[in-house]
Amino acid sequence: MVDLLLQKFSEVSFLSGMPSALLFVLAATLIALPLFMFVAVNALVAVYAERKISAFMQDRLGPMGQGVGLHAGKWGLLQTVADAIKLLIKEDIIPALADRKLFILAPFILFVGAFIVFVGIPFNQHILVADFNIGVFYIIAMSSIGVIGIIMAGYSSNNKWSLYGAMRSAAQIISYEIPLALSLITVIMLVGSLKMQDIIIAQHGLIWGILPNWFIFNNPFTFIAFFIFFISGVAEVNRTPFDLPEAESELVAGFHTEYSGMRWAFFFLAEYANMFIVAAMTSIIFLGGWQSPIPGFLNGPGWGLFWFFSKAGFLIFVMMWFRWTFPRLRTDQLMQMCWKYFLPFSLINLLGVGLWDLWLN
């Protein structure tokens, strides 16, 4: 997409005289701005949805109001806007004994780690910033940058709760990366490509005449791999059954205990961006991405966006559903689940998919 923009720029007379480095920065900014807007709007909508869904699941009403200017607007629609304004105008506190440079840098590293992943996510047939031939590998690698930000935040805060949270987070993310990657490899073995669009196009058509040929339905091993991938993804973004790094009842707020105002908002933005990434990756790799459930039916570029966002949105809903249903795991239970249950099963999956591919196709 950057190349496409640069090509367009060369046709415009007043831009052709500029140095190429400047044009590249301009093109990259033009792409990054809508992506940033998307991440921010995604957080706004997801926060509102989360508050409402959690409220309804607990027989409450959630944010409510009687109109603009009264409380939070009709049905509390302005609640997240009010939250955002509150965070923007809040005092920015840096503890006196904190490691100042790392403390300031940490939320941005975490956010960049989440934001940079959006480069590789195909929203539909055409909207994709860069279709790398190592797309899946790129996304897995970049989404692991976030843990550095978390450790930096925990270390630099000079607070035991923050450090505990950061250490837990590091242990958790490194552990769950393994079943996550192994489940991905099952699909990559079937496709034979790491390119995101190739993985989606490989899921075209029907299987057994009724089900869409998505990898979740492809064979029993990928069916299990879907669940391992999704649950490991939820664990990677520190969502509630696995929210040990920010366990309120144990660690105050975990690694972001000492943060306030806009710096805290960046942690929040990164969390919701990561949530969207996990949902999007699961829907691309196992649920056919922008492919319609019925092949050839409503499969244009616009409908591609619709299918992609409805699949990702459903998975985000499932994550919220998890959050408001399950209690938090203990650290030993968390590790047991990863190493004693997910890891053997993903290894068996890997073998099973290999044999399935060898004998049945």
User: Minimum distance from CB of 40 to other proteins (Å)?
Assistant: 27
Measure the CA–CA gap between 346 and 361, rounded to whole angstroms: 21
Closer residue to other proteins (CB): 64 or 252: 64
Query: Angle at CA 236, nearest 5°, toward 232 and 238?
Result: 115
Closer residue to other proteins (CB): 25 or 57: 57
Please provide the DSSP assignment of 102-132 as one string. HHHHHHHHHHHHHHGGGGG---SSS--S---
Measure the CA–CA gap between 316 and 359, rounded to whole angstroms: 36
Measure the CA–CA gap between 279 and 287, rounded to whole angstroms: 10
User: Minimum distance from CB of 240 to other proteins (Å)?
Assistant: 12
Which residues inside 298-337 make contact with other proteins, applying CB under 8 A? Answer: 321-322, 324-326
Binding residues for other proteins, rule CB under 8 A, total: 16
Cα-Cα-Cα-Cα torsion 286, 293, 279, 126, nearest 10 degrees, comes to 100
Which residues inside 157-176 make contact with other proteins, applying CB under 8 A? Answer: none
Q: Of the candidates 30, 56, 130, 298, which one interacts with other proteins according to CB under 8 A?
A: 56
Closer residue to other proteins (CB): 306 or 322: 322
Enter the tokens of residue 242.
Answer: 């696995």
HSE value, Cβ hemisphere, 13 Å, CA-based, for 163: 8
User: Minimum distance from CB of 342 to other proteins (Å)?
Assistant: 11
Q: Of the candidates 6, 26, 53, 252, which one interacts with other proteins according to CB under 8 A?
A: 53
Q: Of the candidates 7, 16, 68, 341, which one interacts with other proteins according to CB under 8 A?
A: 341
Q: Of the candidates 12, 13, 17, 59, which one interacts with other proteins according to CB under 8 A?
A: 59
Q: Is residue 57 part of the contact set for other proteins (CB under 8 A)? A: yes
Closer residue to other proteins (CB): 224 or 275: 224
- Amino acid identity, position 14: F
DSSP state letter for 194: -
User: Minimum distance from CB of 235 to other proteins (Å)?
Assistant: 14
- Amino acid identity, position 329: L
Burial, 59: exposed, middle or buried (Cβ in 10 Å; 0-12, 13-18, 19+)? exposed
At residue 311, the 3 state secondary structure works out as helix
Over the window 62 to 101, marking each residue x when it contacts other proteins by CB under 8 A and - when it does not, the resulting string is: --x-x-----------------------------------
Closer residue to other proteins (CB): 3 or 339: 339
Query: Angle at CA 346, nearest 5°, toward 315 and 318?
Result: 15
Q: Which span (50-58, 146-154, 164-172, 266-274) binds other proteins, by CB under 8 A?
A: 50-58
Measure the CA–CA gap between 26 and 332, rounded to whole angstroms: 49
Chain residues binding other proteins by CB under 8 A are: 53, 56-61, 64, 66, 321-322, 324-326, 340-341
